Amino acid sequence: VTFFPAMLTLPAGGSATFFCNISMENDSGSEYSLNWYKEINHSEAQKIAEISRNNPQTKTEKYLLTNHTPAFKIEILNLHQNDSGSYYCGLITFFEPDKVMESNRSHLVVTAAPEKTNATDEPEMEEGNSPNHIKAVLLGILLLAGAVILLIFGYLTITYRRGGMIPHGGCATPRGWGKPPMVFVSTVDYGVLEFQRDQCTQMPSETRPVEQTEYATIIFPEEKAITPERAKKHQD
């Protein structure tokens, strides 16, 4: 009777599989059964499972035994660290029920289960980073608004400088317009007429007729008293 593999190292939560192979010389169909044993620290062996020749499969909460004559398979389910130890199988025939043919020992070592990553940790980290994300977005918006304000201010400054400053109390002449008409004064015999054009011209002379506002000041000579001599002279 042989038992293999000789050594297994597996994490907790999995399963371990061993095989027990029997060889019966001159087998004429005699009945037998196969027992499975476990030893801990070379202590007394403990029977953990059993399967007969005519039974194809046996399953318990902890073990699954399958008959593949002349090989038998045992699966140790849901491993825990206290499942570590030495395992072997023993063949018992019905014509020699008190005799057990033991196999060699195989060793099983069950290690601690790997730590599972907590799926809720990542959302918590994302929630913790959300205030920083909001601050970064607000800072970006403020910087963008400041840049737009600076561009508008610069554009207005350049436009103002190119347009020039309008003197106080005067009128700025738009570019491309002709020179304003000159101021002239007319006089008559009976007085003095002064004509003066409005100081500010709103339209160029090439595209619009000149509109003038004329002011006249009439100055009459002083009347002299008529004496008899002047009256007589006037009659002559």
Query: Domain boundaries in the chain?
Result: 2-111, 179-236
Per-residue model confidence (pLDDT) at position 224: 56
Per-residue model confidence (pLDDT) at position 53: 86
Greatest extent of the chain over all pairs of C-alpha atoms, in Å: 195
Residue 36 has, within 13 A of its CA and on its CB side, a CA count of 27
CA–CA separation, 84 vs 76, rounded Å?
11
Superfamily of domain 2-111: Immunoglobulins (2.60.40.10)
C-beta of residue 42 within 8 angstroms of C-beta of residue 143: no
Per-residue model confidence (pLDDT) at position 113: 86
Query: SS3 of 133, please?
Result: helix
CA–CA separation, 118 vs 64, rounded Å?
32
CA–CA separation, 91 vs 33, rounded Å?
6
CA–CA separation, 171 vs 176, rounded Å?
15
- One-letter identity of residue 163: G
In degrees and rounded to multiples of 5, residue 47 shows phi and psi of -75, 130
* Structure tokens that stand for 97 in this block: 């029920």
- DSSP-derived letter for residue 204 is -
Per-residue model confidence (pLDDT) at position 76: 96
Residue 146 has, within 13 A of its CA and on its CB side, a CA count of 6
In degrees and rounded to multiples of 5, residue 83 shows phi and psi of -80, -5
pLDDT per residue of the chain (236 residues) written in tens, 0 to 9: 899 999 999 999 999 999 999 886 645 567 888 999 999 877 788 999 999 888 999 999 999 999 998 899 999 999 999 999 999 999 988 777 778 889 999 999 999 988 765 555 555 555 555 678 888 888 889 999 989 998 898 888 888 887 655 444 444 554 544 555 554 444 445 444 454 554 544 555 454 555 556 666 666 665 555 565 655 555 55
CA–CA separation, 195 vs 218, rounded Å?
12
- One-letter identity of residue 140: G
Residues 6+ apart with CB under 8 A from 113: 11, 12, 13
